[in-house]
Each structure stands twice: as C-alpha cells, then as structure tokens.
C-alpha cells in the first residue's frame, strides 16, 4: 500500500510536472468521444484520477469502494494503468535483477545433513533405528544399554514427530500464504500494476522467508538431538547406578580379594558379564572402590564384614561339601580364577587351603586365585569375628586386638604378606599396617597384573598363621 501511493505520487509528480505521458507508448484512445480535447484536458483528467487515487485511503471504506468503482470505470483508467505497468515493469526488473540467484545455503545443507544422519529427516523407521544402532555402537553396546537406547529412540522419534509436524505446518502455512498473496496480487493486478513476474518474485520472497523459518526449526531440532545425544550417549551425564545385584557381585569379589583387588582381564570380563556392565565399567568400579576404600576404610568396615561373612558362609558350605565329597572328587587344576572364582571354588584346592589356614601346613604350589579368594575371605571374617567356628575349626590364631582397628581386616592381609616384608616382620601391628597402607597400599603388596599368581597365597597365609 505504501509502495503504491509512493509510486503514484511519483507518477503524479512526473505527470503534473508536464512530461508527456504518451512518451514512447501508444496510449489507447479514450473509450468514449472527447475527440476535440486537447492536452490540457487530458492532463486535467489524469491529475484528477491521480488525486482521487491518492486520497482514496483517507476515505471511509464505503466511500473508497464507491470511488474505486468510479475510478475503474473512468475512461482514462486503461491508459494510466498501462503507463503504470510499464514503469513498474522497469523498476521491478531492476529490483529482481539485483537479488536473483540464491545459492544453496551451506548452513542449511549442514543442518539437513545432520538431521539426515541423526535419522530425524530421513525415511520413517530406518533412519531412527540406524541412529540408535550407531548410538549403541558408540557407547559400548552392552545389554545394559538396551533400555536406555529404547528410551533414546523414543525420544528421538518424539523429536522427529515434532519436527515433521512443524515442518508440515510451515509448509502448509507457506502454501496458504503464497496462494493468498498470489490471489491478492492477482486481484490487485486489475487495479494496480502488478506483472506476473512480480508475483513470482513475491512468491520467491515468501518462500525464502519461510525457508528461513524452516532453518530455525531445523536448527532447534538439531540442538534438541544434540542434547538428547549428549544426555543419553555421554555416559558421564547419564550416570546410572548399577543394579543392586551388580553391586553385590562386585562387592563380593572386592572383599573376597581384599588382599589384591585387581581382577584379571578374564575376571573382569566374567564380572562384566555377570553384572551386565562393560569391562571398563568393572575397571572403573574397582578403581573407584580401591581408592575410596583406602581413603576411608572405616566407612567400609561394615560393608566389608557383611560381604566377607556372606562369602565365607558360601565358602564354608562349599568346604563342607568338599569335605564330604573329598573321597570321590579328585582335585583339578584351578582355572586361574576366571569362572566362578569366588563362588564355586575348586573343592580340592579349597580343602587344602583350609588345612593350611588352620594348621599352617601349606604344601601346594599351584593355588589359584579362586582358592585364594576364599582364603582371603575367611581370614577376613575370622579377623573380624575373632574366630570363625562353623565347622572350619575354631580359630583363635587371629588375635582380636585387630577388631577395633579400622584397617585390621586389610592390613594383615596386605602388609602382613611376606612379599613386602623381606626383612622378616612376622607380624605387623595395626598401626604399622596403617602406615604401610598410607605408604602405598595395594600397590606395594604385589604386582597388580599377577593377581592369579600363586606366590601370594602361601606367603600371606604363612605369614598370618605363623603368629
């Protein structure tokens, strides 16, 4: 509207300034009569029309409507209209020439690619699951993640749905608006100089506007997907406590291997399988556990007792069974502690260790970690209870003075080991143990990688029992 009046004003100015309207174009003859009219008469007419047009907006709707009709029927209208059209054509062309050519926006392409890759804008179901599968692969792909992934997928489809509905809405709105504008322009082209090219241009502008809105939509969708990804795939953000069962299993292993809580690769895999977590999660868990246990042993005392006792009872039952079946079951070589390392020890070796524990008569040289774990556990619980008497033979060898020492369960096992006492310390007071602990803890006990080495078992057992 503003454009129109401005243009008309210009036109009126030009005309009223005395320039020939007929210029280079053939002004159609007036519709009816007026043969004898000279230039002054025409100028008068044109000026009149222009004045009416210019003031049309100042009038009331009804008035304007009537005026419009009158103008439409004016005999000079076609002539004036074609002039306006010509001028408009020229300006329109110059405008169009200025901003033609829209190169594919690189950012838009990037967004499109991203959305396609994330499975948001791709084919209905395939893209989503593909992305989810990629996510699964990215985060380890353990069975534990399946729930999270379904959650992730659900969220992704949610985003995708929103995206599609919004996109559709925009598309629809764009189309509606375009047709509306086109109709309007076409309608107005009867009274206003609007060429089809200009309508086209208008449509282009509208589309550009809407596509910029679409880009915003795509951008926000991308952001949403990114947030979703980071939430679900970045394990750090998505910290989930392990299941109670998993923690149980890990704790059992930890406390039954308290003397050397460094599970071998096989043991880690086994634990991972049992707990439905990844091996690295097992490693993390043990890393955290070791450091935190060491930092505040007192805090873990109760837990240690609990698990040690639990495992010890299991072991005791196993021993009892072993004793019963000892005659028939011939001992086999332990499998380096990989399977069932702390739940189902080899009965033969177990028995041997128990004997050594009680009577300091260890002879074997191939004790596996599985057996050692039981020994640790039993010794632990014995230390804690001041003697474990459940068919294992009452044991008063482990002096109760360790009881009130927070680290006593650990120190004898670790520091008491002859492996770190080459000078012949037969027994270490709890305080000394604490110091040993403070000086290096497990690291000084043995080489972590040689968890399954049989050298530690006999040594520690001997050390403890020799007192």
Partner DNA sequence: ATTCATGATTACGG
Partner DNA sequence: CCGTAATCATGAAT
Residues of this chain that interact with DNA (CB under 7 A) are: 234-242, 247, 262, 265, 277, 280-281, 283-288, 290-292, 294-295, 299, 441-443, 448-449
- Which residue, 14 or 235, is less far from DNA as judged by CB? 235
Write out the two tokens for 450.
Answer: 């040689």
Contact 443, 417 (CB under 8 A): no
Write out the two tokens for 272.
Answer: 């991972």
Cα–Cα distance list, 64 to 68, 220, 430 (Å): 6, 46, 105
Alpha helices in 189-278 (DSSP H): 196-233, 244-256, 265-275
Q: How many CB atoms lie within 10 A of CB 120?
A: 24
Q: How far is the CB of 216 from DNA (least distance, A)?
A: 26
| Per-position DSSP letters for 64-128, written without gaps between them | HHHHHHHHHT-TTHHHHHHHHHHHHHHHHHHHHHHT---PPPHHHHHHHHHHHHHTSSSSTTHHH
- Which residue, 286 or 398, is less far from DNA as judged by CB? 286
SS3 track for 386-408: CCCCCCCCCCCCCCHHHCCCCCC
Q: How far is the CB of 239 from DNA (least distance, A)?
A: 5
Q: How far is the CB of 448 from DNA (least distance, A)?
A: 4
- Which residue, 135 or 354, is less far from DNA as judged by CB? 135
Q: How far is the CB of 247 from DNA (least distance, A)?
A: 5
Q: How far is the CB of 210 from DNA (least distance, A)?
A: 36
- Which residue, 286 or 362, is less far from DNA as judged by CB? 286
- Which residue, 288 or 366, is less far from DNA as judged by CB? 288
Q: How far is the CB of 145 from DNA (least distance, A)?
A: 10
- Which residue, 11 or 437, is less far from DNA as judged by CB? 437
| Per-position DSSP letters for 118-156, written without gaps between them | HTSSSSTTHHHHHHHHHHHHHTT--GGGHHHHHHHHHHH
């Amino acid at each position: 509207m503003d454009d129109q009046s401005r243009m008309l004003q210009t036109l009126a100015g030009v005309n009223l300034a005395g320039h020939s309207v007929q210029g280079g174009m053939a002004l159609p003859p007036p519709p009816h009569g007026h043969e004898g009219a000279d230039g002054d008469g025409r100028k008068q007419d044109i000026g009149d029309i222009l004045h009416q047009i210019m003031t049309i907006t100042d009038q009331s709707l009804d008035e304007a409507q009537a005026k419009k009709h009158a103008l439409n029927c004016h005999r000079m209208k076609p002539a004036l209209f074609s002039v306006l059209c010509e001028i408009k054509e020229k300006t329109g062309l110059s405008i169009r020439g200025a901003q033609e050519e829209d190169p594919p926006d690189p950012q838009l392409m990037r967004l499109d690619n991203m959305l396609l890759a994330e499975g948001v804008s791709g084919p209905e179901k395939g893209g989503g699951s593909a992305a989810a599968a990629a996510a699964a692969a990215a985060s380890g792909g353990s069975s534990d993640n399946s729930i999270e992934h379904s959650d992730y997928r659900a969220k992704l489809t949610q985003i995708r749905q929103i995206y599609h509905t919004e996109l559709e809405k925009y598309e629809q709105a764009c189309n509606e608006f375009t047709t509306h504008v086109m109709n309007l322009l076409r309608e107005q082209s009867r009274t206003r100089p609007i060429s089809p090219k200009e309508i086209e241009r208008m449509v282009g502008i509208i589309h550009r506007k809407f596509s910029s809105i679409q880009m915003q939509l795509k951008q926000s969708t991308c952001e949403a997907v990114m947030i979703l990804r980071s939430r679900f795939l970045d394990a750090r953000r998505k910290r989930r406590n392990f299941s109670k069962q998993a923690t149980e299993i890990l704790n059992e292993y930890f406390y039954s291997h308290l003397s050397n809580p460094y599970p071998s690769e096989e043991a880690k895999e086994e634990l991972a399988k049992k707990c439905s977590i990844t091996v690295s999660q097992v490693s993390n868990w043990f890393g955290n556990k070791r450091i935190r246990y060491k930092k505040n042993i007192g805090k873990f005392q109760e837990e240690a007792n609990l698990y040690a006792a639990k495992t010890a009872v299991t072991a005791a039952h196993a021993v009892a069974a072993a004793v019963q079946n000892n005659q028939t079951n011939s001992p086999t070589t332990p499998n380096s502690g990989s399977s069932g390392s702390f739940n189902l020890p080899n009965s033969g070796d177990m028995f041997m260790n128990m004997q050594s524990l009680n009577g300091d008569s260890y002879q074997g040289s191939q004790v596996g970690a599985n057996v050692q774990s039981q020994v640790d556990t039993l010794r632990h619980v014995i230390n804690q209870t001041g003697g474990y008497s459940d068919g294992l033979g009452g044991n008063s060898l482990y002096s109760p003075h360790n009881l009130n020492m927070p680290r006593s369960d650990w120190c004898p096992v670790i520091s008491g080991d002859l492996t770190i006492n080459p000078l012949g310390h037969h027994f270490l007071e709890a305080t000394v143990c604490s110091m040993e602990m403070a000086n290096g803890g497990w690291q000084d006990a043995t080489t972590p990688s040689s968890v399954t080495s049989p050298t530690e078992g006999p040594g520690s057992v001997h050390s403890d029992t020799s007192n």
